[in-house]
Structure formats: C-alpha cells, structure tokens
A and B are shown apart, each in its own frame.
Chain A
Amino acid sequence: MSKRSALLRFGLPLTLVLVLLGLFYVGLGTDTEELPSPLVGEPAPAFELPSLQEPQTTLTEADFTGEVALVNVWASWCRPCRQELPYLQEIAKRDVPVYGFNYRDSRQNARRFLEAFGNPYDKIAFDPEAEAGMDWGVYATPETYVLDAQGIIRHKHIGPINAKVLQEDLLPLIEKLKAEQQS
C-alpha cells in the first residue's frame, strides 16, 4: 500500500472521528434548555400590576427602573426560588434594589413564603396570570434580569442563582453597570 493511500485509509476516518468527538464534547457543555433572551439590550417591558403586599398600590416598569437593579421572577411553589433567596439577599445588601414578579401564585402563599424564608425584595409586583410574565419573556421560574440605570435589560439569568453565578456573572456585571452610571 502506498504512503498516500495509507494516509487516506487511516488518516481520513481518524480525523472524521476526532472532529465528531470534538463536536460531541462541545455538545456536552452546551445547555440546550438555556435560551438567549432577545430582550437583552431592550428597555424593560411595560407592565401594570398590583403590589403583592399592598393590593391598592399599582406598580409599573417605572417602579423597577432608575438605577442598576435586579428583577427576579419567583413563586412560592418554586423550590429553586427558595434556594436562591440568600444570594438575592447578598445582592440587596450591596445597595442594589431587588424587585420581584410574583409569578402564578396566591397572595397568601407568597406572603407566607417571604415570612418564612426572608424578603430581599424592595417591591414585588403580583402577577398571578403571567400577564407581565409573557411580556418579559418569562418561561420558567426563577429568572433574573439585570437592569442598568437607564432601565435597559443587560442580562438575563435563567434558573436559580448560586454562588458561582453570583460571583462570576452578577456581581461583576453590577459593578460594571454602576461604574457606567457614575461616569
């Protein structure tokens, strides 16, 4: 067998297999459930909902915007929402307002949840029928949006916040946005 055909016979399948393995490896690392939000870079969508704690008060997107802030979509029936509460508290401690959409929930359950596990939220809009949820492109709780001082959505995190997400994604972004605001 000539050198060239040997190269073709073994080299070609070998490269193909290696390329395929490479693709598999990349595929392993990508989370197909995580979808990029087309709302990143867009202003916070308008909404008009009653406040969770004060049913007479109406909240709109103006209540959630004005400074660098977090908007978190949560529900009392959502277990990961409970797990991420300490991290939201961590952010609230750094003078970053944390706003909430209480999604597909009942007032009673939502209030009990906050009493039992703590309340990191500055304001919470009550959205039992997912009206604002649809406009904000919510598809599962918990989801967290980072807004800049102009009220533009700069980042969306899908799923619960954990220590890694807090340290590597959210806090650096918040620092950056705050610096932008001051300059």
Chain B
Amino acid sequence: MRVLGAVTVVALAAGLVAGLGLAPREVTQGNVQRIMYLHVPSVWVAYLAFAVVFVASIAYLAKRADAADRLAHASAEVGVVFTGVTIATGSIWGKPTWGTWWTWDARLTSVSILFVMYLGYLLLRGMIDDRERGARYAAVLGIVAAFNIPLVHFSVIWWRTLHQPPSLMTPGPAMPRVIITALLVNFVAFSLLYVYFVAKRVHLLRREAEAAA
C-alpha cells in the first residue's frame, strides 16, 4: 500500500512536469489548454470507476462476498469525486475558452447526469441502516446505472447534436507527440491514484465493518 502511494506520488509529479513543463504552449488557447492534462484523465478514471462498480455489483449479487460490496462502494465514491473534478476543471477551462462556465453541450450534460446518478447511489447507501440490505440495493442500483450510461450517452448526443456538432472537444488531426506523451503520463498517474484511493477506502471500510462487528 505504501509503495503504491509512493509510486502514485512520483507518477503524479511526472504528470505535472510533463503537462506544465515539457508540453508546449497551445497556440490558440494558451496555457489554459494545459488543464486538459487534469480533465481528460479524470473522465477516464470516472468511467473506469463506474465500470468497476458495475462488475463488483454483479459479483456481489452472485457471490455475496462483502469484499465485492466494499469495492463497489469505494469505487463509486472515487468515481463521483473524479466526475466532480472533471466538471470543475471543464468549467474552469470553459470560462476563458467558451466564455461561459456552463453550457448544455452533449458531453457536459451526459457527464453531469452520471454525476447525479451516482450521487443518488451514494445517497441510497447512506440511507440504509441494515448493511446487508444496503449492499444488495446498492448493487441493483449499480447495475441499473451502468446499463443506463449508453442510453444517456445516445439520447443526450441526439438531443444536442442534431443542431450543433460537439466539435469543440475533439482534438485536431495532428496532436504533437509531446502532448500525447504528457497526456499518457497523466493517464497512468491518475489510474494509479484511482487504485490507491480505492485500496485505501476498501481498507477503511473493512476496518469499519470489523469495528462494528
């Protein structure tokens, strides 16, 4: 665990150096563009986290292993946090670039729906006193939410982009290699951070369960 933490710190530092130092200043957007090195890996981690919730939920219902439930719980928490980071960094980037904190663009909308959906998931967990029942209900909700992600995705894209294509976020045809490398370093760093957070949280939840027992 400690090793993982150390490696994560190193990777994050490397990501910072790569994103803030090595990567060139973007011509049209200037330094604001550098927020991408936070923003894009955060989305990745969020989706990864919700995928883990889905798998762990199925595993819990099938095997009834408390470990699977704790994994789902921890992963959902971390996922919600990173979804929040995604929205926040996106807003900060959007203000100088688009001139607004928020717009009902397709991607913004679908990510924010994910955010409230899993916030509800955590709310449900908090509302149930009986641990075993809470685990079961949460697992059902985790599965429903996961199946809903593609539906949300398509409906929101059709809703919005029949009128305006979301070309703003699609990267240009030729991204310099330095930028890609810097982005990749941050991807790895954020993934490690995710694993570290989840491991910590699972550990904590196990201790809590032990203490309660």
| Same complex | no
